Amino acid sequence: MTIKARWAAAPYIAWMVLFTIIPLCMIAYFGFTDADGIFTLEYIKKASDHIPTLIKSIYLAAISTVICLVIAYPFAYHVSRKSYSRQKMMIMLVMLPMWMNFLLRTHALSALIEDNGVINTLLTKLGFEPLQMINTQGAVVFGMVYNYLPYMILPLYSIMTKIDVRLVEAAADLGAGFIQTHRRIIFPMSVPGIVSGTTMVFVPAVSTFVISGLLGGSGNYLIGDLITAQTLGGAYNLNYGSATSLLLMVVVLITMVIFNRLETEDSEAMIV
């Protein structure tokens, strides 16, 4: 790396050190010490008591990620086959909700599905029984899909627009049907987008606390809610919250390693 290249990377390195490495070191320090700064594994052991809550968070995040993939994959493919002007318009519509504050979007969704919300009011006027939608696992999953779906669409769209149309046309000329073309050409070439989108959806979904707090209620307490209560709530305990954060961090790191490994193996397979 030349001297100019090093200086160009300096702002990024400084940013990473100040806002990523130092905070991670602080979390590790508080997680392995007590209030007096003495090394202890007490809080790590206490954090392990919340494994069921962590498993529940992983379960709901995984369901949300699969739903996002099922919705986003055909949509991204459909958009990638349109003209350039239509692609820009449709992607702008996908990104439009992201211009609104995340908390505001979730509050708006809460107003739609609460017991006296817009949907139940409409159902009652039509003569139907109101539905119990708020404070359920389904509401949490719905909120995750609603908020994180664009993060699945955009990587898939980015990859699919790079797929050479001539490959699809050649497959059709050789007698391949729509399903076979997708299975042998489009899907393998879109795997990097699937991996990127899955990572971008699963990681924030497994650590969310706003969505579960507003839509899930006390009956759907996730690991993010637990960390928030320990670090910002009335039961303030920075050491306990840091130890719980380390538990979540291990899951996130394992997830990212698995996804990166899958992407690497797919890239090597495509080269071969």
Q: What is the pLDDT of residues 199-231, one digit of tens each?
A: 999 999 999 999 999 999 888 889 999 998 888
The pLDDT of residue 272: 47
The CA distance from 24 to 254, in Å, is 16
**Residue range 157-197, pLDDT digits in tens:** 999 998 888 888 788 777 888 788 888 888 888 988 999 99
**pLDDT confidence tier of residue 79, bands split at 50, 70 and 90:** very high
Residue 4 has pLDDT above 90, yes or no: no
- CB-based contacts of 17, cutoff 8 Å, min separation 6: none
- The average confidence (pLDDT) of the chain is 88
**Residue range 236-247, pLDDT digits in tens:** 899 999 999 999
The pLDDT of residue 271: 45
The pLDDT of residue 5: 66
- CB-based contacts of 192, cutoff 8 Å, min separation 6: 155, 159, 263, 266, 267
Complete DSSP assignment for 213-270: IIII-GGG--HHHHHHHHHTSSS--HHHHHHHHHHHHHHHHHHHHHHHHHHHHHHHHH
CA 139 vs CA 60, 92, 186, 272: distances in Å = 11, 26, 33, 44
User: What residues pair up with 39 in beta bridges, in sequence order?
Assistant: 33
CB 244 within 8 A of CB 32: no
Amino acid at 124: T
Select from 251, 243, 238 the least CA-distant residue to 206.
251
The CA distance from 12 to 33, in Å, is 31
The pLDDT of residue 166: 83
The pLDDT of residue 270: 54
CA angle 135–100–97, rounded 5-degree value: 80
Per-residue pLDDT averaged across 97-118, rounded?
90
Q: Between residues 142 and 174, which one has the greater pLDDT?
A: 142
**pLDDT confidence tier of residue 267, bands split at 50, 70 and 90:** low
Residue 43 has pLDDT above 90, yes or no: yes
Q: What is the pTM of this model?
A: 0.88
